[in-house]
Amino acid sequence: MKFPKPHTLKQIADLVDCKFVGASDFQVLGMNEIHVVEPGDIVFVDHPKYYGKALDSAATIVLINKEVECPVGKALLISEDPFRDFN
């Protein structure tokens, strides 16, 4: 799902009340499930088994429940409950 207008990483972090890793003005263009994400999208992951898949996906923003190393060119949203915040 693409947003009607771009948002910033900070705006999304403020909306769901979580920490972020990356530039505060990093553009967020939409959100989607792991199998259909595109650059600019947020994807969520809440289990260590799937961290690699989410971090290596086309999504450029990963909503995750653990602080991990942020891949180059991406941003992280650190949440206690990524599934809730994604929804």
Q: CATH number of the domain that 28 lies in?
A: 3.40.1390.10
Domain ranges, residue 36: 2-86
Residue type, 84: R
Number of structural domains in the chain: 1
Q: How far apart are CA 26 and CA 32, in angstroms?
A: 17
Give the model confidence (pLDDT) of 49-78 as tens digits.
999 999 999 999 999 999 999 999 999 999
Residue 65: per-residue pLDDT: 98
Question: Which two structure tokens, joined as six digits, stand for 17?
Answer: 């009340």
Give the model confidence (pLDDT) of 21-40 as tens digits.
999 999 999 999 999 999 99
Confidence of residue 85 (pLDDT cuts 50, 70, 90): very high
